[in-house]
Amino acid sequence: MSNSFSLHGKRGLVVGIANEHSIAYGIAKTIREYGGEVAATYLNEKAERFVRPLAEGLGCPLIMPCDVSKPGELESVFDKLKAAWGTIDYVVHSIAFSPLADLHGRLVDSTAEGFGVAMDISCHSFIRMAKLAEPMMPNGGTMLAMSYYGAEKVIDHYDLMGPVKAALESCVRYLAAELGPNNIRVNCISPGPILTRAASGIKDFDELLTVASSRAPLGRLATPEDVGRLAAFYIGETGNNITGNIGFVDAGYHVRG
Ligand code: NAD
């Protein structure tokens, strides 16, 4: 390994940029800063207006539509990646969704439909992404998903998303075990609360931010760029022997809770 950290020669996909505040944008920006190449996606036409200029600003050679709930869209993304690059080195899954009615109620009142939608978009889509990425990583690679501490501990107002993130973390461990023999590493990053569009759907999120910064050992909040640096570490040679890991980027909040 060379002395200076670099992602030069690493090519992959980042899903989840909605705007400049998105954790996925912080990750994509950091990967570019370290010399890696990034293909990006946007949810739909409405989102394209915001995502395209950001992705173009990062020099993304591929900017594609991807709503994981629309049959065929994720597959089409991987077809385009294959046509352009043949192989890839990493995928980043930085998406989550729950119908608001289910997110804002108690877990005990959640509907099977709402729970299913949240699970499908926020968790099972990572499995589908892994299945499509595997054949494009003949020499190994890295897969990353975003979780949250609410997977482990009860966080007020996180409700439905807690069990969904717990399932996602479990998927990371099982996928790590299944794909390890192909030298594919599967890890999860668990950022502390960051004010993004998805986060603004959580009730009293401001309160969560205040508590997180005041109780974190480092006394501050994490940023999307902090998350990006850990993502880069996992993707780079630095992460060669790390798989099935949950990496907290929360200024240490999880040790106190
Ligand atoms: P964000 O709103 O910027 O990003 C969420 C993304 O999910 C958006 O780009 C949106 O288009 C995408 N998405 C939703 N439904 C989709 C679908 N059907 N198909 C494809 N994409 C879809 O918010 P964020 O906070 O950057 O969220 C990114 C990830 O980080 C999520 O998994 C979230 O749970 C996780 N996370 C966020 C925080 C936080 O405090 N912001 C903390 C821990 C983990």
Rounded Cα distance, 167 and 134, in Å? 21
For tokens 């998303």, what's the residue? Answer: 161
The half-sphere exposure of 172 on its side-chain side, counting CA atoms within 13 A, is: 28
Ligand 1 mutation target, pool 43, 69, 95, most atoms within 8 A of CB: 95
Pocket of ligand 1 (CB under 6 A): 16-18, 22-24, 43, 47, 66-69, 94-97, 121, 146, 148, 191, 193-194, 196-199
Query: What band does 123 get if pLDDT is binned at 50, 70 and 90?
Result: very high
Is 6 within a domain?
no
CATH of the domain at 36: 3.40.50.720
Is 69 within a domain?
yes
Query: What band does 257 get if pLDDT is binned at 50, 70 and 90?
Result: confident
What range does the domain containing 189 cover?
A: 11-252
- Of 189, 257, 182, residue with least CA distance to 224: 189
Is 134 within a domain?
yes
pLDDT tens, position by position, 165-185: 999 999 999 999 999 999 999
Of 90, 148, 149, 253, which one is the catalytic site residue? 148
Among residues of the chain, what percentage have pLDDT more than 90?
98
> Which position has the higher pLDDT, 257 or 81?
81
Asked about 25 being catalytic, the answer comes back as: no
**pLDDT at site 4:** 85
Asked about 148 being catalytic, the answer comes back as: yes
Is 4 within a domain?
no
Is 257 within a domain?
no
Please tell me the distance between residue 197's alpha carbon and the centre of ligand 1 in angstroms.
8
Is 5 within a domain?
no
Give the contacts of 2 (CB within 8 A, at least 6 positions apart). none
Q: What value does the mean pLDDT of the chain take?
A: 97
Which ligand 1 atom sits nearest the alpha carbon of residue 198? Answer: 2
Rounded Cα distance, 209 and 64, in Å? 33
**pLDDT at site 138:** 98
Are the beta carbons of 10 and 39 closer than 8 angstroms? no
Q: Is the pLDDT of residue 1 over 60?
A: no
Query: What band does 230 get if pLDDT is binned at 50, 70 and 90?
Result: very high
Query: What mean pLDDT is predicted for residues 141-167?
Result: 97
Is 1 within a domain?
no
Which ligand 1 atom sits nearest the alpha carbon of residue 193? Answer: 40
pLDDT tens, position by position, 8-66: 999 999 999 999 999 999 999 999 999 999 999 999 999 999 999 999 999 999 999 99
Which ligand 1 atom sits nearest the alpha carbon of residue 195? Answer: 41
Ligand 1 mutation target, pool 146, 187, 207, 223, most atoms within 8 A of CB: 146
Is 2 within a domain?
no
Number of folded domains that form the chain: 1
